[in-house]
Amino acid sequence: MIRITTHLSPTLKPPPLSLHPHLPLLRRHRHPSSRPISVSAAAPSDLLASVESVASAASVLAAIVLVHESGHFLAATSRGIHVSQFSVGFGPALARFRLGPVEYALRAIPLGGYVGFPDDDPDSGFPPDDPDLLRNRPVPDRLLVVSAGVAANLLFAFLIVYAQALTVGVPVQAQLPGVLVPEVIPGSAAARAGLLPGDVILSVPGLAPDPSVPVLVDLIKASPNKDVSVIVSRTGPGPGDRRSIDLTVVPDTSVDGTGRIGVQLSPYFRVTRVHPNNLAEATVLALREFTALSATVLDGLRQTFLNFSQTAEKVSGPVAIIAVGAEVARSSAEGLFQFAAVINLNLAAINLLPLPALDGGTLALILLEAARGGQKIPREIEQRIMSSGILVVLMVGMFLIVRDTLNLDFIKDIL
């Protein structure tokens, strides 16, 4: 038998993420209830809580990178392949030590990590034809090592969801009638009409009952400078008290001539937290949640690439990921489970993309070699492809770190 607890909440869809080799980049998502941080006005307890939440999010992110690189490392060492380096981060080393033939390092640029192989190191002491160099191994061994990071993240994501099921329970969403308004831009057409964050649009005269988000968006776009009547449900002063209000919104005209009212819209859900009573139920719930999160991540990634011109400015890096994770940690410990699982799944999905500097790019080159009957791609060409990819990723990553840091609320307050 499964125990359940229920509460109402905005949709808990994880934000879709986008590109980076061993660290996903996040499409920015601002929670409706978030507020700018005032450093001077914050109480010591508030500052301590903020530091703790940031530390929690950063620890989750570091653990995910560590798991990914450990997958590569363990796959290589289990096959007797020479490994020379294990690094979390890029750039100058903040701390390092050597254990046997491997140098372990924590580096300054938090863009991911890497496992180094001595294949092209003339000072390694290994002859070029050493059978235990990665490049001299047969295709199956190299495929195993390169794909092991992704496999480790998938396994870690499932274990996180399984731990969530055993401890705080798995959230299950049931859609309710109406469309939620999580955020209203001050001074917008919606704000002028009296819409408030937390309102639920129940119906629009002339449309079918219980309109969906796409239907409302299409109506708003098609109605610049025209009256749009809506019936909304709003929370009252008492517990569970809601009242219906009739409002008229006049959408502003966008640059492209369509209407806009300045709100964020999302489906309205009841979140039921399901608690299993035994390991078998926990396994079923974890598999169901893992599958649902995986589908959401893949769909988010697909939408990012299909609409890249609109989503490019929303792609963010490690700073934004930590900021979102800190916000999740402040709001609820339960959300940190889903945050960690989603980051793992995104890292796995993105690393499978056949792009230079990603695991997927290396896999593509190995498969190309196999398709050529084992004829290796010239080493110079392969190194040129990978080096250019790494350079581009590092440049984009540093740009995003600077931009996301400048966009943090407390940095804006200082500036």
Beta bridge partners, 27, equal 315
Please give the structure tokens belonging to residue 192. Answer: 């002028």
Cα 372 to chain centroid, rounded: 36
Residue 72 backbone dihedrals phi, psi, to 5 degrees = -60, -45
DSSP classification of residue 134: G
Instruction: State the number of CA atoms in the 13 A half-sphere of 9 facing the CB.
Output: 17
**CB burial class (10 A; 0-12, 13-18, 19+) of residue 158?**
buried
Beta strands in 15-126 (DSSP E): 17-18, 25-27, 85-99, 102-116
240: alpha, beta or left, given left = phi > 0 and alpha = psi -120 to 50?
left
Q: Residue 134: which of 126, 114, 154 has the closest Cα?
A: 126
- Please list the active-site residues: 69
How far apart are the C-alpha atoms of 8 and 280, rounded to whole Å? 28
What angle, rounded to 10 degrees, do the helices at 333-351 and 44-78 form? 40
Q: What is the sign of the dihedral through the CA atoms of 363, 369, 372 and 374?
A: negative
226, 251 in Cβ contact below 8 A? yes
Residues contacting 56, CB < 8 A, separation 6+: 325, 326, 329, 336
CB-CB neighbours of 376 under 10 Å: 13
DSSP string, 372-388: TTTPPPPHHHHHHHHHH
